[in-house]
Chains A and B, each alone.
Chain A
Amino acid sequence: MPAIVVENLNRTYRVFRKREGLWSSLRGLFKREYNTVHAVRDVNFTIEAGEMVAFLGPNGAGKTTTLKLLSGLIVPSSGTATVLGHVPWKREDVYRRRFSLVTGQKEQLWWDLPAQESFRLHKEIYRIPSAEYERRLTELTDLLEVGRLMSQPVRELSLGERMRMELIAALLHRPDVLFLDEPTIGLDVVSQRRVQEFLKRYQKEQHITVILTSHYMKDVEALCERAIVINKGTVIHDGPLAAIIDRFSRHKIVELQFADGEIPAGLDQFGRVVETKGARVRLQIEKQYVSDSLGSLLARHSVDDISVLERPLEDVIAELFATTSGHDHTGDGHVGN
């Protein structure tokens, strides 16, 4: 049984359009002009229970809007969605006890009190039996290595420590569905990795359903096998993460180590030189010319070592978004009156 089913989901916003200048500001007092922004358009997907899916897309692509819809914060303009059989925007307590939303804004904890006070409150809010609560709390604090910080006021914790506390708050009631909106934003590499490792392990043990949005491809690669790529409110790819590279990258990377100790001239006729280091060079070559180029290169130069690599996911995604999105604005390009 799928945990999340989204069908033809649409969400439009009406935003006030202000033209430049004083005169139009004055006119705006009497006659307001609005633009309709399609933040999410005709989105369809199904996520099975226990899946961990990445939501990828540039800023303003509609990722957060979709998560807000699934958490019941906003109602859709049209379409349907069910999570664990519930319609999220009905905001029934039965549903609210079964999911969690974690955002980079970290707002679940009481700022001036130690995190354990907030956890005790969560115990009552989510009605967790005492023995169960103690067990889960010990388990989560051990996994996240925050035991010694439990009695320190939250405001004295570092960003990474606070994020780990937020995760505990979000997981204490053992939600079946977890929405993670940029959970590692602003964290240093060590904290990022710690959160990644925790999520991976926790998800594997508890089989919870997770949707993750992140700008760090490292997060995504470490955690998710499936990715839904969304841009301008529309799903443009839904499938294995690896398939994104196959599908959207027109290039491969060819790495060559030249035998005579230096890099010959004229390599740019085969492709773009991405990196050089001593006698080693990385060329980005269009897929269909890779074998021809290799033939010519080997005929002309003596080469010690060759490898053909896929481009890093991060680059492919960056390129994909650069070509499909004009500028940084919610649902840009879909403006109408």
Chain B
Amino acid sequence: MSAIDHEHGAQLTWSGELAARLRMKWLVLSTAIEERLVYRGDFAFSTLVRFLPIVTQLFMWNSIYSGDTSQQMRGYTYPDMVSYYLLGMLARAFSSMPGLSTGIAQSIANGSVRKYLIQPVDMLDHLFWHRVAHKLVYYVIAAAPFAFVFWMCREYLPGWPGATLMMAWTASLVMSFLIGFLIEALIGLIAFWFLEVSSLIFIYMMLSYILSGHMIPLEWISPWVPWVQWLPFKYLAYFPVAIILGKIPPEQVWTELSVQAGWIVVLFIANRVVFRLGVRRYSAYGG
């Protein structure tokens, strides 16, 4: 008698289906956290090392402003600049995705992407929960150094914003994580067409460093590049900072947040479409 008639993954009710999916996401998340913790020492060290450039940055801005705390440059005083830099760093802690594009590109090039085609799993969903795990572990390790740096620079920082702004800021940070994930995943998926994407990733890194407002405030760039405000990159760093620093009129904050959410929808659909096309190409040409 053959085992051919066995029922596999029998049709579940919608609530059963949802529960099964959530359980899987949770397990990917918890397994990825465990994996991260294997390298906790390594991870903690690299996290701390990333705080070192702060000192040089602060010195740089200090000399640019010649230590004058009242002088303004295109709307930013030296304390504004310090706040901008520190809050920008915090935003990048949400939106940066080290190794995501490269990881996807490598798995396509070396064939390990096959796993996601053979097993009943969704690659992007899998990678997403993986990334959430990485971020959670990162926040636990980076919380203390972040708190220390903010405390050291407390006299430059603006006061606590009101509850509404805090909510808007939190929402923008969470969404910046989603936008960062979706953009980098999309770039990684290009490897379905071009096997060598490392230079493309490098160019993206350079552009996003500037266009996200990570390097300098976007107000300083927009006179030359007015369309920078229409791109999704500003949500990776500039936008959350601008909310706290009051650079965005309060009545516009909610409109901007909706636009940010709109970008998430657009990028999500783009990811799905590109993934489908990529897999189609993969199974037509390589495999």
Contacts and interface: CB of A to CB of B under 8 A. Distances in A.
B162 to A, nearest CB: 42
A157 interface: no
Interface of A: 1, 3, 13-14, 49-50, 65, 68, 71-75, 84, 89, 91, 93-94, 96-98, 100-101, 105, 107-108, 110, 112-113, 117-118, 120-121, 124-127, 153, 173-174, 176, 206-209
Contact of B115 (A49, A75, A108): A108
B112 interface: yes
Contact of B118 (A73, A75, A118): A73
B277 to A, nearest CB: 14
B283 A89 contact: yes
Chain B binding surface, main DSSP class: helix
Contacts of B196: none
B119 interface: yes
B272 interface: no
B27 interface: yes
A73 B31 contact: no
Contacts of B28: 121
A174 B6 contact: yes
Given A93-B120, A125-B121, A113 B4 contact: no
A113 B38 contact: yes
Contacts of B194: none
B152 interface: no
A207 B1 contact: yes
A120 B3 contact: no
A46 to B, nearest CB: 14
B9 A206 contact: no
B120 A96 contact: yes
Given A75-B283, A84-B4, 17 more contacts: A3-B2, A49-B2, A73-B114, A74-B282, A74-B283, A74-B287, A94-B8, A98-B6, A101-B118, A110-B31, A110-B35, A124-B23, A125-B120, A126-B119, A174-B3, A174-B8, A207-B3
Contact of A98 (B2, B8, B287): B8
Max chain A CB contacts within 10 Å: which of B8, B38, B117, B283?
A: B8
